[in-house]
Amino acid sequence: MTTKNYKVVTPAEAVKVIKSGDHVHLSSVASSPQCLINAMCARGDAGELKDVHIHHLHTEGPAPYTEAKYEGVFQHDAFFVGANVRKSVQAGFADYIPIFLSETQRLYRDGYIKCNVAMIQVCPPDEHGYVSLGTSVDATLAAVETADHVIAVINKNVPRAFGQAMIPMSLIDIFVEDDTPLEPAHFSEPSEVEKLIGLHCAELIEDGACLQMGIGAIPNAVLAQLGNHKDLGIHTEMFADGVLPLVESGVINGANKGIDKGKMVSTFLMGSQKVYDFIHNNPQVLMMDVGYTNDPFLIAKNPKTTAINSALQVDITGQVCADSLGTKFYSGVGGQIDFVYGASRSKGGKAIIAMPSVTNKGVSKIAPVLAPGAGVVTTRNHMHWFVTEYGAVNLYGKTLQERAKLLITVAHPDHREALEQAAFERFGSHFRFVTK
């Protein structure tokens, strides 16, 4: 197929291939194809569809298919719960599939989930008949490869990213054109607590380290502390605006990476338009399949891999909850354990879990035991470094009692005595620790 002979249809025409009972994949984050989503929902409003399963990772922008009125029409079974669908999941009108981010692509490739229709966004085709998935490769590439029908929105605002993001137009069945700007992600400025956490994390990062960081203010606070570092690399599931100044100053150059030397590797992006502009036609950035970026054994090939991820709650033995507390679902398993496992096996690597010591309401996030129903994402067997605003402690190789003592030292001072008492009750009278 050349760039001259593809036929464009309207979004309404394109989504006619969706049938009741189908499984539909949406490209993620900034690349959610809103014009196709709206057209699909219009068919739902008209009573033309029922029992359509919607799958995706984190998405930005509206997610109308999760609304209560579509119960029985659309079933949201996402691989990650973003802010735009969280209330619907908590209310039971939507759901999610707990799975390691690295394995989301296997759901399609190994046939656990049938992909009937993949709805994606791509950049305009080049002279060789290739388009780019831009900011969303993740599990989207697997969906494209296995779908019965692929609908692509050709959008001039999708960056022409390299790596496995580049696909031939022959993989696409239906073309739509729409130039709606990509959805930007908005991050709040780090608080004073988050800045302290960022400082403690930065002190653990060595020159030549290869970085993975999750989503939010803490990663940006960490990156802001790295201006005097040298030869840092990026192998991550996502990155945002915080890396750009470090690339421009030469701090991030990938010179010490074990694989993809000199390249920044990611599978999806969340950020401002500056990030999308940065990856456009940039050979320094490889947008890769999530089975590549989040493979723990590939991650471990980069020396000094340093993975920094957040949590909702940690108990005094080092069990990490990062997806749900009781009936409240906040995100999903994501890529945390992929990188914790990979970083811990990297030569000189560090796996770090970082979070504020208390919630916004002053409740300790370090708890005697996890809340009932809390999901354990990183087990205490995988736990290495833990960071709050009060410092960093390494739990690796420590006994349960030693872990409790270390975790209490980085808890909020107002809660240390209660945690010490809980540890005493759990471990018996031989547990002795004087709170400072």
Residues taking part in catalysis: 237
Strands 305-310 and 313-315 turn out to be: unpaired
Residue 216 makes CB contacts below 8 A (sequence gap 6+) with 187, 310
Q: What are the DSSP E strand ranges found in 183-315?
A: 210-213, 233-235, 264-266, 285-287, 305-310, 313-315
Distances (CA, A) of 85 to 37, 59, 82, 94, 332: 14, 9, 6, 8, 12
- Separation of alpha carbons 368 and 371, rounded Å: 9
Question: Quick check: 152 and 170 in contact, CB under 8 A?
Answer: no
Could you tell me how far CA 380 lies from the centroid of its own chain? 21
Whole-Å CA distances, 257 to 138, 227, 244, 291: 22, 19, 18, 19
What are the C-alpha distances in Å from 162 to residues 77, 135, 165, 267, 320?
A: 29, 10, 6, 11, 35
Residue 96, beta-bridge partner list: 78
DSSP classification of residue 97: -
**How far apart are alpha carbons 224 and 84 in whole angstroms?**
28
Distances from the Cα of 250 to the Cαs of 49, 203, 246, 253, 265, in angstroms? 52, 19, 6, 6, 16
H/E run at residue 2? none
Q: Residue 142 — φ and ψ, nearest 5°?
A: -65, -40
Q: Rounded to 5 degrees, what are φ and ψ at 70?
A: -95, 15
Measured CA to CA, the distance from residue 114 to residue 136 in angstroms comes to 20
Residues pairing with 314 in the sheet: 320, 366
